[in-house]
Amino acid sequence: MTFAPPTQRAPQAPVLPATPFRFIVHFVGRYRAWYAAMFTLETAQAVCGILIPYAIGQITRTVVQSGALSGEALQAVLDGLRQPLMLFIALSIGEVVFSRLAGTLQFTVGPRQRQAVTRDLYAWLQHHSHRFFSDNFAGALAHRVSETSVGVNQTLWMLLFDFWPVAIVLSVSVVLLAGAHAQLALFVGVWSVAFVALSYWLATKAQPHTIRAAAARSDTTGKIVDSVTNLTAARLFARLGFERQQLDAALATELAAVQRSVRYADRVRWFNYIAAAVLKVGILWYALDLWAAGQIHVGDFVMAVSLSLLIINEARNLSRRFLELFEYLGNVDNGVRAILRPHELVDATGARSQWRARGAIEFRDVSFGYAADKPVFKQLSVSIPAGQRVGLVGFSGSGKSTFVSLILRLYEPQQGRVCIDGTDIATLTQDALHEQVGLIPQDPTLFHRSLLDNIRYGRLEATDEEVREAARQAHADGFIQQMKDGYGSMVGERGVKLSGGQRQRIAIARVILKDAPVLILDEATSSLDSLTEQAIQETLDRVMQGKTVIVVAHRLSTIAHLDRILVFDAGRIVEDGSHAELLAARGAYWRLWSRQAGGFLPEDAGGRDGLARPVFDGQWVEAAPGVAARGAGRDDASEERDDRNGPDMEPEAVG
């Protein structure tokens, strides 16, 4: 296959070859004793099967010889019949026993092997980067894992139980016939080679059709899934009929593709039937001819005809089996390609795994962009001492979340270093780093597990009572108690059965339990109503004590009381200081704060350009009328304002 094997592997991930062929061989190697046994049994079974016509030939030979005899001579011949008869019986029994033994092994090792593939692929998948999971759909990845594990089994069973017996039957037939008559053997040999080659060729010809048919089928499924996901929208726009038409169009495309594929399969079947007839008629006619000419014995004639029937039986549908083999191999190939890509971000060799942070965070000349040609940060340097509580402010897209992601090492800076307590975080294991940092994201997702389990995720050994206490602190206890199953309630996929605010409170409880020295809140309370937010703010302030804290917030009121505020603008930190200092500086922060304060600003703000456009230029602009009215009469956004209750920032301006 045409892609590079993994060049980078997380040390915790299993060693896996990244081409489908070597991947399959790898698992055969893991169960090599089983495969050796199955291979032997399957060979024995096929040989027994093919020797049966030979035994029949021997019996026939004896019976025919006995025709002209009588008395003692006949008795002697009939005694001689016992040997081929015993052979026939032994072969028949052997065929059954070997085949069943091989089957037993198959059913024993098959599920184990499938689980081993699943386990290893999953372990590899886990260590992919944050970026990888933003670029790939979770459902598609999960599907690939199961498809690949099934595909490995299917490929191996196909080779072992379908192709290998055919190979034996064809080659042993030729050998047996060679014993009787060289040219008869040649006829079957040529037929076999031509048959296998043509079957393979037809399968390669049919493959594009079957691939297109399968793609059309999965396309239809995808459209149905999308339509079902958006069913509420379809209903509310009265577009149910429209959606059915969309489906009909997809089904029509699918039908055309499937029909082409089926028609091709039918042609392949024609080939199979004709080839079988050629073999049957050819052998019968040719062997009969040879017998009439006295060149072969009637016993060989019977054997030849029996062999031809056996070959036809074994080799039937060879094209279709090739097609299936391609499909299974294709599945393995897809999975290996999608999942076994090099890990983008791995722990350095010898990275520290035991580490306790005090929490001093430092960016040293950090340059980073999601795409190399679109930098978010250019040589950003900033230092946050341990125990400082810092608020990040700035327009949407100014780089606040990216800043947080770099501290968490979800991405790696292209240049420069991010250090905690002077240690480059790239020299720590990711686990060691993440143990020391608690994150409450803007849109936390939850496991489809009970609420108890979701909160306990912060500290697995926490008691039920500790979990409840954390929930109480996060003001989640109230709504949890009201749920039907309380703490045992399941929350739906990603937590869909909870409101955004409820999910945030669960995420807060979980981080409270974790109690890490660095705490990051990225718009952590943005989905809460202001009353709940105020209540939680007290908890958060308590939780923040003694920690290094970074708070990204929509509402300036939630960060105004912190030790320090960093104002981000297009990836640069344009202002840095306490709330009071920044207001006094009358810069970008001051403009944002004033805007929140109600839109009334003295005229001298009017001419400045920068982060927030001037709000007042002789008339009321931008601020909502109600807010403006409240703010009217105030001459400035005053520093004496009760920070905690500062007004909200307009959502479209910041965040």
Give the Å distances, CA to CA, from 639 to 10, 473, 474, 586, 608. 51, 30, 30, 11, 21
Query: Under rule CB under 6 A, how many of the chain's residues touch ligand ADP?
Result: 11
Q: Which does 398 bind (CB under 5 to 8 A by kind): ligand ADP, Mg ion, none?
A: ligand ADP
Residue 545 as a binder of ligand ADP (CB under 6 A): the answer is no
The Cα 126–Cα 479 span in angstroms is 33
Tokens of 270: 């024609």
Residues whose CB falls within 8 Å of the CB of residue 34, separated by 6 or more in sequence, listed in order: 105, 108, 109
Nearer to ligand ADP, 250 or 406 (CB): 406
Written as one string, the DSSP assignment of 434-456 is HHTEEEE-SS----SSBHHHHHH
For residue 555 the two structure tokens come to 């509402």
Pick the piece of the chain touching ligand ADP (CB under 6 A) from 175-183, 389-397, 556-564, 573-581.
389-397
Residue 622 to residue 617: CA distance in whole angstroms: 11
Print the binding letters for residues 394-423 with ligand ADP: x by CB under 6 A, - otherwise.
x-xxxxxxx---------------------
Nearer to Mg ion, 330 or 655 (CB): 655
Q: How far is the CB of 237 from Mg ion (least distance, A)?
A: 31
Strands 437-440 and 518-522: parallel
Nearest alpha-carbon partner for 405 in 462, 345, 327, 459: 345
Strand 564-569 with 389-394, pairing: parallel
* Only segment of 73-81, 288-296, 303-311, 393-401 that touches ligand ADP (CB under 6 A): 393-401
Which of ligand ADP, Mg ion, none interacts with 394 (beta carbon under 5 to 8 A by kind)?
A: ligand ADP
Measured in whole angstroms, the distance separating CA 325 from the mean position of its chain's CA atoms is 23
User: 447 touches which of Mg ion, ligand ADP, none (CB within 5 to 8 A by kind)?
Assistant: none
By the rule CB under 5 A, 502 interacts with Mg ion: no
Could you please report the per-residue DSSP string of 374-415? Answer: EEEEEEEEEEE-TT-EEEEEE-TTSSHHHHHHHHTTSS--SE
* Minimum distance of Mg ion from residue 369's CB (angstroms): 16
Contact map string, positions 394 to 413, toward Mg ion, x by CB under 5 A: -------x------------
Q: Which does 376 bind (CB under 5 to 8 A by kind): ligand ADP, Mg ion, none?
A: ligand ADP
Q: What share of the chain is helix, strand, coil (3-state, %, to 5)?
A: 60, 10, 30
Closest separation in Å from C-beta 400 to Mg ion: 5
Query: In a 10 Å sphere around its CB, with 0-12 CB exposed, 13-18 middle and 19+ buried, how is residue 181 labelled?
Result: buried
Closest CB to ligand ADP among residues 371, 531: 371
Q: Which does 557 bind (CB under 5 to 8 A by kind): ligand ADP, Mg ion, none?
A: none
606 binds, among Mg ion, ligand ADP, none (CB under 5 to 8 A by kind): none
Our finding on whether 526 is near ligand ADP (CB under 6 A) is: no
Segment near ligand ADP (CB under 6 A); pick from 54-62, 239-247, 391-399, 507-515: 391-399
Residue number with CB closer to ligand ADP (331 or 402) = 402
- Residue closer to ligand ADP by CB (options 397, 651) is 397
Residue 130 C-beta: closest distance to ligand ADP, Å: 8
Crossing angle of the two packed helices 164-180 and 182-229, in degrees rounded to 10: 170
Q: How far apart are CA 447 and CA 153, in angstroms?
A: 31
Whole-number minimum distance, CB 361 to ligand ADP, in Å?
16
What H or E segment, with its residue span, contains residue 633? none
Which one, 401 or 423, has the nearer CB to Mg ion? 401
Give the x/- contact pattern for ligand ADP in 262-291, rule: CB under 6 A: ------------------------------
Residue with smaller CB distance to ligand ADP, 456 or 595: 595
* Residues 148 and 339 sit within 8 Å (Cβ to Cβ): yes
Shortest Å, Cβ 142 to ligand ADP: 21
Rank residues 401 and 596 by Cβ distance to ligand ADP and give the closer one: 401
442 is a contact residue toward ligand ADP (CB under 6 A): no
Q: Quickly list DSSP for 91-155.
A: HHHHHHHHHHHHHHHHHHHHHHHHHHHHHHHHHHHHTS-HHHHHHS-HHHHHHHHHHHHHHHHHH
Contact 554, 654 (CB under 8 A): yes
Cβ nearer to ligand ADP, comparing 46 with 553: 553
The count of residues in the chain is: 655
Comparing CB distances to Mg ion, the nearer of 173 and 401 is 401
**Residue 209 near which of ligand ADP, Mg ion, none (CB within 5-8 Å, type-dependent):** none
With CA atoms as reference, report the closest residue to 129 among 430, 355, 361, 364.
430
Nearer to Mg ion, 42 or 522 (CB): 522
Interface pick for ligand ADP out of 242, 273, 370, 447 (rule CB under 6 A): 370
Site string for ligand ADP, 95-134 (x = CB under 6 A): ---------------------------------------x
Handedness of CA 44, 45, 51, 52 (dihedral sign): positive
Residues that bind Mg ion (CB under 5 A): 401
Residues that bind ligand ADP (CB under 6 A): 134, 370, 376, 394, 396-402
